Amino acid sequence: MAPEETLGSADPNRRDFLKKVLAGTTFAAPVLATFSMEGLSPEAAWAQAGNCSNMTTSECCRFAAEITIAIAQLGAGCCSGGPAAPTAPTPTPPGFFFLPPEIQALLVGQLGKAQTLMAEGLDKGNGDCTNPPAREKFKKASKELSKFETLVDELCAGGIADFLKGQADLLIRAIGDLVNGVCASDGSRLLLCFRT
């Protein structure tokens, strides 16, 4: 191998990074996969759901629903399974699929608890979502998301851990707002997961 030549052709401030990229790797066909996050806004999800029901609801219930959808997408979008190695022609979105199935299952299960509590809060909210029983459920959902972050810390490392914890942080903050009655969502607060 002649990495010096390659490093010499790279930008000086990128050589350390390239050294790490080269270290211990063998040639593999290059893979570039792109995933659009367009159309994943909670508004879009609601627009699509509009055909299912004429139900009107409060702004806080709408916000709670957006958070619930975002939790579901964090789990479902990132956990859709896929090839163990990203050399397959059409890799699935980046996310949990790099992890062993047991770990995926633990993470999805934890998100599921948060999601269920959010849905129960919506049910208790009965079109209002600011009443105490609903808020209690939302607070519990937030605690489950904190446990998800702890689990990520224990099981994952590197960029994927940061990404997942960042997503969970966003959701926890959004639930905090919801519980405090700050329910005006512009939709961009909740970064939903990927879709091909």
Partner 1 sequence: MSRGKHKTTDIVLTQRPRHVDGLDINPVEDGFMIYRPDTDRVHYLNHTAVLILELSNGRNTPARIATLLKNAYGLPEAPEHDVNETLLKMADEGLIRRASPGRPLPRNATRTQRRR
Find the binder of partner 1 among 59, 82, 98, 155 (CB under 8 A): 98
Q: How far is the CB of 31 from partner 1 (least distance, A)?
A: 4
- Phi, psi of 37, deg, nearest 5: -105, 5
Question: Shortest CA distance to 141 belongs to which of 43, 59, 72?
Answer: 72
Find the binder of partner 1 among 59, 76, 82, 86 (CB under 8 A): 86
Closer residue to partner 1 (CB): 6 or 57: 6
Residues near 18 by beta carbon (within 8 Å), at least 6 away in sequence: 6, 7, 10
Please, which of residues 147-176 interact with partner 1 by CB under 8 A? 158-160, 162-163
Question: Tokens 């851990």 belong to which residue?
Answer: 161
Q: How far apart are CA 180 and CA 131, in angstroms?
A: 11
Q: Is 14 in the site for partner 1 (CB under 8 A)?
A: yes
Question: Shortest CA distance to 62 belongs to which of 175, 183, 182, 176?
Answer: 183
Q: Is 99 in the site for partner 1 (CB under 8 A)?
A: yes
Q: How far apart are CA 168 and CA 78, in angstroms?
A: 13
Q: Is 34 in the site for partner 1 (CB under 8 A)?
A: yes
Q: How far apart are CA 77 and CA 70, in angstroms?
A: 10
Q: Is 25 in the site for partner 1 (CB under 8 A)?
A: yes
Kindly determine how many residues on this chain lie close enough to bind partner 1 according to the rule CB under 8 A: 41
Q: Is 46 in the site for partner 1 (CB under 8 A)?
A: no
DSSP symbol at 14 = G
Q: Residue 45 is which amino acid?
A: A
| Among 7-15, 55-63, 121-129, 143-151, the segment contacting partner 1 (CB under 8 A) | 7-15
Q: How far apart are CA 41 and CA 189, in angstroms?
A: 9
CA torsion through residues 97, 148, 123, 190, sign: negative
Q: Is 18 in the site for partner 1 (CB under 8 A)?
A: yes
Closer residue to partner 1 (CB): 63 or 163: 163
Q: Is 33 in the site for partner 1 (CB under 8 A)?
A: yes
Q: Is 42 in the site for partner 1 (CB under 8 A)?
A: no
Q: Is 82 in the site for partner 1 (CB under 8 A)?
A: no
Residues in contact with partner 1 by CB under 8 A are 1-3, 5-6, 9-11, 14, 17-18, 21-22, 25-38, 85-87, 91, 93-94, 98-99, 158-160, 162-163, 194
